[in-house]
A and B are shown apart, each in its own frame.
Chain A
Amino acid sequence: MEVKIEKIEDINIFSLAGNLDSNTSGDLEKKLIPAIDANNTKFILDFSQLHYISSAGLRVLLSAAKKLNQFKGKLILCSVRKDIKEVFEIAGLMPIFPIYDNPEEAARKILQ
């Protein structure tokens, strides 16, 4: 999996490519958690190039969201393919992770 990080004003955009599973979730965790610890509070995860997520990936996202929640931060997702959305639905995570169609819409929402 590849993680590309961009910062536009105070929004951190993480673009994930490949598979987010037990083999790769540690790579995301190593980048996401320190970014939260550095007092960033707005995160958009762009899933347009993400092909697969397992519970190991969900675990990293949940722990990041919990940490951010303590600082009134926001973590939202965009460009999520159908089969990944199904995983979020079954796991009861739709109320926790807002999902938007594209990065522009996600950026507008995170600034509201």
Chain B
Amino acid sequence: MSSSTGTKIELQILNKIPEIERVCNSITTFSRQHSIDEKIISNLYLAVDELLTNIIRYGYRDEKDHTIDIRCFIEKELLTLQIEDDSYPFDPNEAPQPDLTSNLANRKIGGLGIYLVKSMMDDVKYITKNGKNILTLTKRYTIS
């Protein structure tokens, strides 16, 4: 289910990994329609993929279907992405810093996804509201 009007796109998916690519592709198409720079689009693609993967892989304590809402707004110079879900509360800003410097033998695997998102976006905000997690990411953009 999706709708796109003017400078906003809204999508709703079930908590299934194969759904993620569809969201990433819809947001990419939407961003291209607004001539967003390709580098920003690839950053956005990764952010959506990493965050939805985390929610779907680790966020649910039952086997039931859950819906996740994704919204993307394009305003003058600012791109905003919002993800709303009812998974286990988790603030990406509280995630530990990954190991980026050890040699191969000692390098710890993991924690890179959230770090990549935070590095590529300008701001990541997390709140809980009425039992839902709401993640809001922003990125200033340039036109290609």
Contacts and interface: CB of A to CB of B under 8 A. Distances in A.
Given A54-B50, A83-B42, A96-B104, A90 B109 contact: no
Interface stretch (A28-36, A38-46, A59-67): A59-67
A55 B118 CA distance: 13
Interface residues of A, number: 22
A21 interface: yes
B21 A23 contact: yes
B112 A58 contact: yes
A21 B49 CA distance: 8
Interface in A3-28: 19, 21-23
Nearest to A84: B42
Contacts of A96: 104, 107
Nearest to B100: A92
B107 A90 contact: no
A83 B39 contact: yes
